[in-house]
Structure 1
Amino acid sequence: MKKITHIIIALAILVLYTSCSDSFLDEKAKDETYADNLFEDLNGFLSAKYALLHFPRHERREPIQSAELGVIWKIGTDVAWANTELSWTRGLNQYTKADLTSTMQFLNGDVTDPSGRPGIFLILYRCINSANLIISRAEKPGVNWMGGSPEKDEANKNEIIAHAKLIRGWAYRHLIMTFGDVPKSVDEITGENYRDDWERNSVEEIQAQMEEDFLYAEQWLPDNSKDVTRLSKVIAQHYLAELYLWQGRNAEAEAKAKAVVDNPNYRLITERYGVKKNQPGCPFMDQFYDGNILPSQGNTEALWVFPNSEVDNLLGRYSNSMRRTWVSAYNNLNVAYSPEYGGRGIGRAAITAWVFSIYEDEDDRFSEHAIRKSYVTRDGKTVVCDMDKSKMTTNNHKWASTRKWDWTFDDPSRYGESYSFADQTYLRLADTYLLLAEALHQQGKNSETDGAAFYINEIRKRSNATPITAGDVTIDFILDERARELVTEENRRETLVRTGKLIERTRKYNHIASGERNGGAGIQDYNVLLPFPQIVIEANTGRVMEQNPGYN
């Protein structure tokens, strides 16, 4: 079910209720009377919750550059590169020191734009401050929780708080995996507690806050939900498993991942279903087709879904930039835009040759259904796509691309429009399977019957890949399997930061990021963290905010 009306309400609330001054954490109400009226009852809190759920959707939009915001965590790794030559792609893809700086727009936003298009840091802290607001107001007495009984009132209240804490934990997760130590804010910002002397709290302190938030969400969110605006506890359990792996708490990670895998409401897609069931295809790709995405449409693998509008309006226009980012600019090959080719792409990002090289030929994830390997031009000629390392050259419009994000309008006159309006899965059960395999492997449990190999094989089996043995399991094999399964979905930089593999694997498998192709220095050890945004450093006038090493 699409909740675009709710998102419209949400944006209105964000405009009316939160503003942003020059200080990155100075988020305060424009009108306290409005806020007090909004948070009188459950309906007001539901509207605020819908607003909060808008923030994660930013990751698949392009609020600041002509690519999905999440590309910052994908290119410049072992799995993805930038097939374009722009200052931000050089910085994030080639690690050129002159371009990967504390002033780059992806981090700071467009400071010259009067509309104030925010960068990634400000988006995430607006999210945190909005969550803090909801939590603070929910704890105040006198709210009509509309439950009809004290028990139901308490349940309604706690579920609202659980959503806010889940999203706050999600935002802090991005922040510490990107910047390391960051300011910790868990209170509603008001005129009375305004600060300009924030300090960077340690990663360990933020991890502890994330754990607290995710555990609360696990306790109070439902086991399962087909309402895309009512999130399930499996999301919290998934992120707890990942957090515990990062901290080396492998048995606890196993328990949380196992809770998701064993939840009877979720299962891997292993059979054809939905809108293209009777057309050539494979189960793996069925879950990416619009009309198959939502749990209510039969998608049992989706843990977290972003619904989008199919109406060309201000909201939907930036709701989904995945196809625009990842589908090649094939029109430059004299190929017409069409649904068959996914609609209009501009190919800002691309899959590395290394990823293409690690699939078996019979693997459905490498089939024509999953990877665009050729085009037919307007004059009937076949163009075979490139996948070799030697052809990883800027603006190679023949480069093969994923078909996970294919979508365009039914109207032929609109095939070439820029933006996509398809629903999208943000988090899949397959990801949790691989977290579980990692947790088991870290404890030496690699068996093919109930250990890491078993869960990896469940993923491989549904795509017709050859089963592995217990002896094949290593952390690098698990990372390889994550690449095969989750490429363009996974925020790969964060996974590699968490596992301590970013520098090693990027140098080994991405010759652009390593500096080999262009003769540059390439990725350096300090690039594990990105530069702290200059706009934040300058706004914090009451205390010196230190820059990350290597970027001074």
Structure 2
Amino acid sequence: MKIKYIYMAMLGLGLFASSCSLEEVNPSGVTVDKVAANKAGFNKLVTSCYFDLSRYFYGRNLLLVTEGGTDIWTSDLNTNNNQNYMKYASGGTMSIDMAKDYWNGAYDAINYCNIVILRADQVQDFSSEQEKNALVAEAHFLRALYYFHLVEQFGAVPLSISETDAPVLASSRTPALEVYEKVILPDLRFAADNLPTTVTVAQAGRPSKKSAIGLLAKACLQTKEYGTDKYLEEAINAAKKLIDAPANYNTRLYNNFVDNFNAANNRNNLEALYQLPYSQNYGSTNLYDHNNDFKRFYCTPTAFGAIVSGGFETVVGRWSGGSFMPTKYLMDVFKNPDGTLDPRYALSFQTSWTANTNYSWNADAIRQFDRSAAIPAGTAVTSGEPAIKFIRPEDAGYTAEQAARLAQKYIVVDYKDLYGDDQKVKMKYTRVNQAPGEVENPFIRFYPSLTKFNSGSLISPKANQFTSDAYSTIMRLGEVYLIAAEAEFYLRGANGTAAGYVNALRTRVVGQQVSAADISLQFLLDERARELCGEYGRWYDLKRTGKLNKTYLTQKNPDVGQYFIDGTHGLRPIPQGQIDAISNPSGFQNPGY
């Protein structure tokens, strides 16, 4: 069945402490006992477990806390936009409530998961134990996913595995590794054993065996962050199930890397291990605001007059103004040792734009973009002609194109115009043609823009409101290869097995092969950037590998690293509402907040 949520309805029943005071009554007479008494009602409880994933997490702002503040991204135009997430408040005071939606949403959903898990035996009309366990496995999978984000964002967290139907005034925090061992890993093992191998189109958004096995491999690897190797072999074994026999789990690596992200495969993606749908039909979002991840990674091409946004907002590749700008480190990580580019660079980033309106250069634009005498006022750019092109030293013909870039009627942005030898984004530009001297960098608006979320289904549900109904891929098989490689490296060092997992991904993009001698922790982190940049995980990668610290970030991304505080910014602040609601708030907050 499709996921139709009863979240708001359940809150209205007065069943949970967060929705009512102790004096309120429930005039409808509907209780969890009654809802859970039969399969139809139980299904409604199961589907309520999903609501917060698409309400607060994927497709919403999760990218800010899983990709922002890392080595591979700075904020758009390297500004202070979204500074709590992208630049650790730029040296200022971090908002205590910066991550409250993830905390509140996760615990709301976890309570539903607990209800499903604990009340399944009350249902009288399941056709079989298998049918019951398959539904309960969904709750186990989702509870594990919510707790995974909680512990990685907040560290030690309150552990709840029972139904909450009254206020909990005293609260304690369970260490992160203990949460993995008591809930996350057991939940995923149960889910892997009991979820179906496939889900139908009508069951979009529900996990299958491959979802649980993939997340189990990921979670087992993540425990390395907490100083244990205990679960690394399990990470490899789970990964190998999907790698060695993908057909058994209805998955495979696409032959073409971009097939992961194109519109044709978006709603039937074989490499995806788990996807979420976005549509008012599912009740997961409001009428006008669905999956907005597609907006996050665009530069601002409309800063050049030959490109306009009006009328093109639902055209793939035409959005303007996102939240993320790639760092010099991310650009450089695609450079092969021989000076060529890893093919995934061109497959992952949009680096050129055509004009979508007729345009004539004027004196202000000529001065702003430092045109040479070859571009007089009135020079025309016709719709459909080149408008913006980003070039870098590894490109064929770079030297000639770079030398002539200011004599073109379209904007040629040189890599060296954006990034300095100090690893920082260049905020200033020195004009050589028009009013020579140092000015604000006009080219900072134009940078390579990640295309992984350009999966179509762009809609305008009302005037001047634009969103997407594209499914969100939570995890894909490509990541599983890198999980296996990293776990193998931890357990047995740099070897051919680890290199083989990496080469499987490189083979499909006709990339350069690597050997055991190439494998190191930094190489594997670099490879994850090449394969997985933008896919909800870099902050967790840095935590797991011990790189989420001021020294590393300052080396790779000083625009962000300069603001990182060791001992504080490796965790998010506990929301103020949680602190205010408990009877023992002293010492509950994370250090430094």
Quote the offset at 1:506 in angstroms: 2.2
Q: Aligned AA for 2:59?
A: R
Quote the offset at 1:160 in angstroms: 1.6
Moved more, 231-240 or 78-87: 78-87
**8 Å Cα contact 1:350/1:401 also seen in 2:** yes
Tell me the distance in 1 between the aligned counterparts of 2:263 and 2:233.
37
Inter-CA distance 355–74: structure 2 relative to 1 (3 Å threshold)? same
Aligned partner of 1:235 in structure 2 is 211
Q: Aligned AA for 1:239?
A: L
Aligned partner of 2:177 in structure 1 is 204
Aligned partner of 1:89 in structure 2 is 82
Asked if residue 371 in structure 1 is aligned to residue 349 in structure 2, the reply is: yes
- 1:340-355 to structure 2, matched below 5 A, reads 342-355=317-330
Aligned partner of residue 569 in structure 2, secondary structure: helix
CA offsets 1:342-375 (integer angstroms, 9 cap, x no match): 24343112222211212145533211x4311122
Aligned partner of 1:538 in structure 2 is 580
Aligned partner of 1:112 in structure 2 is none
CA offsets 1:347-404 (integer angstroms, 9 cap, x no match): 112222211212145533211x431112233323522245542446599431211111
Quote the offset at 1:187 in angstroms: 0.7
TM-score, length of structure 1 as denominator length: 0.81
RMSD in angstroms over aligned alpha carbons?
3.3
Aligned partner of residue 273 in structure 2, secondary structure: strand
Quote the offset at 1:87 in angstroms: 6.9
Quote the offset at 1:526 in angstroms: 2.8
Quote the offset at 1:241 in angstroms: 2.1
TM-score, length of structure 2 as denominator length: 0.76
The alignment-based identity, stated in percent, is 24
**8 Å Cα contact 1:290/1:423 also seen in 2:** no
Asked if residue 465 in structure 1 is aligned to residue 511 in structure 2, the reply is: yes
Aligned partner of residue 528 in structure 1, secondary structure: coil
Quote the offset at 1:204 in angstroms: 2.6
> Gaps (5+ residues) in structure 2?
360-380, 391-412, 428-440
- 1:455-534 to structure 2, matched below 5 A, reads 455-503=501-549, 504-515=551-562, 521-534=563-576
Which residue of 132, 146, 156 maps to 2:126?
A: 146
Quote the offset at 1:33 in angstroms: 2.5
Which residue of 113, 118, 123 maps to 1:136?
A: 118
Aligned partner of 2:99 in structure 1 is 107
Aligned partner of 1:39 in structure 2 is 36
> Gaps (5+ residues) in structure 1?
63-67, 109-118, 272-282, 516-520
Moved more, 378-387 or 489-498: 378-387
Aligned partner of 2:404 in structure 1 is none
Tell me the distance in 2 between the aligned counterparts of 1:189 and 1:14.
13
Which residue of 248, 266, 273 maps to 2:229?
A: 248
Aligned partner of 2:260 in structure 1 is 287
CA offsets 1:488-535 (integer angstroms, 9 cap, x no match): 1132111211222211542221121112xxxxx444343111222222
Asked if residue 336 in structure 1 is aligned to residue 297 in structure 2, the reply is: no
Which residue of 142, 158, 163 maps to 1:188?
A: 163
Aligned partner of 1:279 in structure 2 is none
Asked if residue 56 in structure 1 is aligned to residue 53 in structure 2, the reply is: yes
Aligned partner of residue 89 in structure 2, secondary structure: coil
Which residue of 263, 280, 304 maps to 2:274?
A: 304
CA offsets 1:86-113 (integer angstroms, 9 cap, x no match): 8772222222376453523x323xxxxx
Aligned partner of 2:69 in structure 1 is 76
Aligned partner of residue 76 in structure 1, secondary structure: coil
Inter-CA distance 545–122: structure 2 relative to 1 (3 Å threshold)? farther
**8 Å Cα contact 1:446/1:452 also seen in 2:** yes
Q: Aligned AA for 2:301?
A: Y
Aligned partner of residue 113 in structure 2, secondary structure: helix
Inter-CA distance 20–344: structure 2 relative to 1 (3 Å threshold)? farther
Inter-CA distance 41–100: structure 2 relative to 1 (3 Å threshold)? farther
Rg comparison, structure with higher value:
2
Aligned partner of 1:325 in structure 2 is 296
Tell me the distance in 1 between the aligned counterparts of 2:187 and 2:522.
30
CA offsets 1:120-177 (integer angstroms, 9 cap, x no match): 211111111111122222133xx13331xxxx2x112211221111111111111111
**8 Å Cα contact 1:82/1:348 also seen in 2:** yes
Aligned partner of residue 425 in structure 1, secondary structure: strand
Q: Aligned AA for 1:285?
A: V
**8 Å Cα contact 1:77/1:505 also seen in 2:** no
Number of equivalenced pairs: 499
**8 Å Cα contact 1:87/1:99 also seen in 2:** no
Aligned partner of 2:484 in structure 1 is 436
Aligned partner of 2:145 in structure 1 is 170
Aligned partner of residue 350 in structure 1, secondary structure: strand
Aligned partner of 1:276 in structure 2 is none
Q: Aligned AA for 1:251?
A: E
Q: Aligned AA for 1:261?
A: I
Inter-CA distance 411–51: structure 2 relative to 1 (3 Å threshold)? closer
Tell me the distance in 2 between the aligned counterparts of 1:348 and 1:103.
21
**8 Å Cα contact 1:24/1:539 also seen in 2:** no
Moved more, 31-40 or 156-165: 31-40
Tell me the distance in 2 between the aligned counterparts of 1:126 and 1:18.
14
Tell me the distance in 1 between the aligned counterparts of 2:517 and 2:186.
37
Asked if residue 223 in structure 1 is aligned to residue 197 in structure 2, the reply is: yes
CA offsets 1:183-215 (integer angstroms, 9 cap, x no match): 111111123xx3210111112321112122112
Quote the offset at 1:459 in angstroms: 0.8
CA offsets 1:264-298 (integer angstroms, 9 cap, x no match): 23454343xxxxxxxxxxx1112212231233xxx
